[in-house]
């Protein structure tokens, strides 16, 4: 069964460093998302991406964050200068189309900023 794949599963980084979280969405999907879940809190929407551009972003998704689909298969989330409060589980998700479809989530990348 097709699945969304995220790498790495766990990343530890020092505060102020740049990190790139990688995702391979399901191959025929057109809509891509990043969500995050701070430990003990709810899953929060960060950004959606369609047709090679951001379609919507949350207040969390500030200038420190960026997304890219560099090669037609990968979908990346970059955090330019990590802060302690960026520590969270980051989930990538994809949908085949917009109407009447569900999002499929990856296993997540646990980011720890020290």
Q: How far is the CB of 52 from another protein (least distance, A)?
A: 15
The nearer residue to another protein, 44 or 76, going by C-beta atoms, is 44
User: Sheet holding 19-24: strands in order across?
Assistant: 5-7, 19-24, 75-79, 65-68
Closest CA to 25 of 70, 55, 57, 59: 70
Site for another protein in 83-102 (CB under 8 A): 91, 93, 98-100, 102
Q: Which of 7, 17, 27, 55 binds another protein (CB under 8 A)?
A: 55
Q: Mask of contacts with another protein, 9-48, x by CB under 8 A?
A: ----------------------x-x-x-----xxxxx--x
If you search the block for the tokens 């020092």, which residue do you land on? 14
Question: What is d(CA 31, CA 10) in angstroms, rounded to the nearest whole number?
Answer: 24
Contact flag: residue 103 with another protein (CB under 8 A): yes
Q: Which of 11, 22, 64, 104 binds another protein (CB under 8 A)?
A: 104
Question: What is d(CA 1, CA 88) in angstroms, rounded to the nearest whole number?
Answer: 27
The nearer residue to another protein, 16 or 21, going by C-beta atoms, is 21
């Amino acid at each position: 069964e097709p699945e969304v794949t995220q790498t790495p599963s766990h990343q530890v980084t020092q505060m102020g460093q740049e990190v790139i979280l990688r995702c391979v969405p399901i191959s025929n999907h057109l809509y891509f998302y990043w969500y995050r879940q701070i430990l003990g809190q709810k899953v929060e929407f960060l950004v959606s991406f369609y047709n090679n551009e951001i379609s919507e972003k949350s207040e969390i998704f500030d200038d420190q964050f960026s997304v890219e689909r560099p090669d037609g298969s990968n979908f990346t989330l970059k955090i330019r200068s990590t802060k302690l409060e960026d520590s969270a589980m980051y989930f990538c998700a994809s949908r085949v189309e917009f109407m009447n479809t569900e999002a499929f989530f990856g296993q997540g990348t646990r980011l720890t900023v020290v």
